[in-house]
Amino acid sequence: MPRTFDDAGYFICRGLVTAEQTEAIRQGLMRKASEVAASGDYGRDKILEDGAKASPDSVPLHERFRKLNQLDLLPELWNHWYAGAPVLEVVRHFLGDDILRKYASAFLKPARIGGATPWHQDIGLWRDRNDDAMNGWLAIDASTQANGCLQVVPGSHLGPILEHVEYEDSIHAELPRDRCNDLSVEYVELQPGDAVFWHSRLWHYSAPNRSETGRIGVGAVWVNPAQISQLTTAKRLRWAMRTGRILPHPAPELIVTTD
């Protein structure tokens, strides 16, 4: 019997973004990486920061970061992913004809040194209770078991939101480690341009990259106007679609303030 999003809590769309568009996004991310490298701000990624500072020339630019944020203003990323026509056709099915892009990050897992993302439910990390937000991840590189593709526990979105824990060596809060042994996982292996979408409660993880090939993916969270009242912190959202019309880069912002 075919499995639905309701059953599994995730689904994959193959070839959602074309090879040319995927490559354009990669170039945009490399541009952004040069800007961040020039600013010397490596965020919380101490391993890469130490590596980059110790021998800047020997660490290629795209290997210096675990995560790139504030990607709103990359036109390629906006037009092909956050507000790409085939992408919004998928998101619209769940959120309707008015769609706001809430979150934008690229996840980089450099060859040999890329670290794990711990088991978590996205909603367990958010202060907002956007249970029905749509979460997506676009593969820029092939993402395989060898280079640390996403792993998910199908059906885990049907359970509760668990209290996430910040351990001494956590990169961010995570599901209690004693609950994460012997999980029945599925590996989300993707080719460039494939995307995976999941429910905010779905348990997911990615392993360290011990392989010789890097792995870049771009995450996104979309909400609809009905979900704005669930925001508990001030946010800058951007309109991706209004009444069924796609808003290309530079899309208007919606600034949400909370009292």
Ligand X SMILES: O=C(O)CCC(=O)C(=O)O
- Report if residue 144 touches ligand X, rule: CB under 6 A: no
Q: How far is CA 162 from CA 104, 122, 123, 132, in A?
A: 24, 11, 9, 17
Give the type of residue at 158: L
Min dist CB 97 to ligand X, Å, is 25
Place of tokens 């995560």: 67
> Please, which residue, 53 or 112, has the CB nearer to ligand X?
112
> What is the secondary structure of 44-70 as a DSSP string?
T-HHHHHHHHH-GGGS-GGGS-SEEE-
From the list 22, 117, 121, 130, which residue makes contact with ligand X (rule: CB under 6 A)? 117
- Report if residue 137 touches ligand X, rule: CB under 6 A: yes
- Report if residue 130 touches ligand X, rule: CB under 6 A: no
Give the type of residue at 140: I
Min dist CB 216 to ligand X, Å, is 9
Min dist CB 244 to ligand X, Å, is 27
- Report if residue 122 touches ligand X, rule: CB under 6 A: yes
> Please, which residue, 205 or 239, has the CB nearer to ligand X?
205
Min dist CB 152 to ligand X, Å, is 10
- Report if residue 115 touches ligand X, rule: CB under 6 A: no
Site string for ligand X, 196-215 (x = CB under 6 A): --------x-x---------
Q: Which residues fall within 8 angstroms of residue 184, CB to CB, at 6 or more apart?
A: 153, 154
Find how far residue 212's CA is from the centre of its chain: 22
Report the DSSP beta bridge partners of residue 209.
114
From the list 107, 126, 197, 203, which residue makes contact with ligand X (rule: CB under 6 A)? 107
- Report if residue 219 touches ligand X, rule: CB under 6 A: yes
From the list 28, 124, 193, 217, which residue makes contact with ligand X (rule: CB under 6 A)? 217
Of 103, 104, 94, nearest in space to 71 by CA:
104
> Please, which residue, 190 or 247, has the CB nearer to ligand X?
190
Report the DSSP beta bridge partners of residue 150.
188, 206
> Residue 185: CA atoms inside 13 Å, Cβ hemisphere, count?
18
Per CB under 6 A, residues contacting ligand X are 107, 117, 122, 137, 150, 204, 206, 217, 219
